[in-house]
Structure 1
């Protein structure tokens, strides 16, 4: 039964992934927000190859998924959510909110801790900003994130359906809010009350440190509002702002798969950590 549920979860996630990736890619072609600087075939090949590599290694090196952990916690009565009888819908809402807050805090930590920043800067070193940027994470960061997610599942003991919903949302919104899409400014202002928009998250990919260290949310914008890390617009404007990291500007270094995997081990100073935020 568990194998069937995990297989169903995998098919749901894969189907949503392909649907959102295709939809955002078409939107980017029809209504782009910015003119991209780097040749898309190279970037897309490298970024998507990294996704495949990460997926395979995560399955091989971490034998239990978040859904499987939730199934085990449910059958064993583990987790805080088993201490009180909640209505099923409230359990789902609270679990999704808790997961999203955990991801926000993890993201802040990956900027604040030098060792973690070296892994996370692979994501920020992309010289352009489009739907595949939302999939571009170093393999070691993906593995570490998976372990953190498992720990959150064990502590919370959330409903299985809440884990599936969050996994789908996280993947879909990451592609959405990294997309190079144009939308009416009024719509963007409205959506920012409920979800992180591309214009909101693009600020986070600026080379200016105080902008890099803002807008950490992936799904919900509320944590940035509450924690004081929200910045509405980039200083240079969306069309003129520079994307990436000042330490890594060579295309062959940051937009080819071997270079991406070796980037954390570079001797270059890993600029843009929170402790360096006042430099720019």
Structure 2
């Protein structure tokens, strides 16, 4: 697997389209903002972040995993486990790292200024799952690269993890209905849209809960789980109080949000 870009892009586009169709067919919550305007800016941010990664990162996750494998760096390169067990463990440990990173970005004020742009979206749908400030994207990539070298994550495992992470982020940010019984069954193991919607509430105690992206067990184990929004899914207000105008959702304004106090 010398060039995984096509594989990751194919999965990204497929999940984006499927979740968008799902939202259109069975919307969970009435949107409050102009969808075309939001999508134009949120998707524009993806292109801008990709450009920033290519310009400012000397090494990305897949290249780091190749180097770790070729030079036998990191835990899993020393343990000689079966490939399938190593793959499962890598995905689990990297997902735990994402949970802890997410928690830290909420707890440390300087990092929260970066991360709050993700929360400033006034509606939550599939594109919100891709909406992160470029500085946060760069910091996250450096953390991921460091973990790859420490753990010795294989190139295949990192590609699988990145596909799982992107797909689950778009899935659990989707403004789409799951039957309540299915939601209850799924959220025992993975983060569902109803579970993650709580995290995007303007109510502070709800904003700082449900930090998981893929596996839901971390929130239960670390006592950050909140089952439902206080006002219910139909009435929960999405976003943060600081940025509530349509202008705040424009790409240039989103990029400036960490440096603004309104």
State the TM-score, normalizing by the size of structure 2.
0.98
2:259 maps to 1:265: yes
Alignment of 1:35-46 (within 5 A): 35-46=30-41
1:218 aligns with 2:213: yes
- Displacement of 1:6 in angstroms is 4.2
1:234 to 226, 229, 243: 229
SS of 2:41's partner is: helix
**Could you list the per-position Cα deviations for residues 33-55 of structure 1 after superposition, in whole angstroms to 9, with x for gaps in the alignment?**
00000001110000000001001
Work out whether 1:19 is the aligned partner of 2:9.
Answer: no
Aligned match of 2:42 in 38, 41, 47?
47
Distance in 2, Cα, partners of 1:171 & 1:63: 22
State the partner residue of 2:191: 196
Alpha-carbon offset, residue 61 of structure 1: 1.1
Q: Give yes or no for the alignment of 1:116 onto 2:111.
A: yes
Aligned ranges for residues 56-75 of structure 1 at < 5 Å?
56-75=51-70
Whether the aligned pair in 1 keeps the contact of 2:68 and 2:154 (CA below 8 Å) is no
Distance 1:184 1:228 in 2: 25
Identify the residue that residue 274 of structure 1 maps to in structure 2: none
Instruction: Tell me if the contact between 2:72 and 2:152 (Cα under 8 Å) persists in the aligned partners.
Output: yes
2:133–2:255: 8 Å Cα contact kept in structure 1? yes
2:144 paired residue number: 149
CA distance in 1 between partners of 2:178 and 2:81 (Å): 39
Alpha carbons 2:120, 2:240 under 8 Å: kept: yes
> What secondary structure is seen at the aligned counterpart in 2 of 1:109?
helix
- Equivalent residue, structure 1, for 2:76: 81
Counting only pairs closer than 5 Å after superposition, residues 238-257 of structure 1 correspond to structure 2 as 238-253=233-248, 255-257=249-251
Tell me how far apart the structure 2 counterparts of residues 262 and 36 of structure 1 sit (CA, whole Å).
25
Equivalent position of 1:187 in the other structure: 182
Q: CA RMSD in A?
A: 0.9
Unmatched runs of 5 consecutive residues or more in structure 1: 269-280
CA contact (8 A) 1:6 1:68 kept: no
Q: Which runs of 5+ in 2 are unaligned?
A: none
Contact 1:6 1:67 in 2 (8 A): no
8 Å Cα contact 2:61-2:145 kept in structure 1: yes
| Higher alpha-carbon deviation: 119-128 or 190-199 | 190-199
Aligned-partner Cα distance in 2 for 1:25–1:88: 34
Q: Provide the secondary structure at the position in 2 that maps to 1:83.
A: helix
Flag as ranges the 4+ runs of structure 1 deviating above 6 A: none
Residue 171 of structure 2: aligned partner: 176
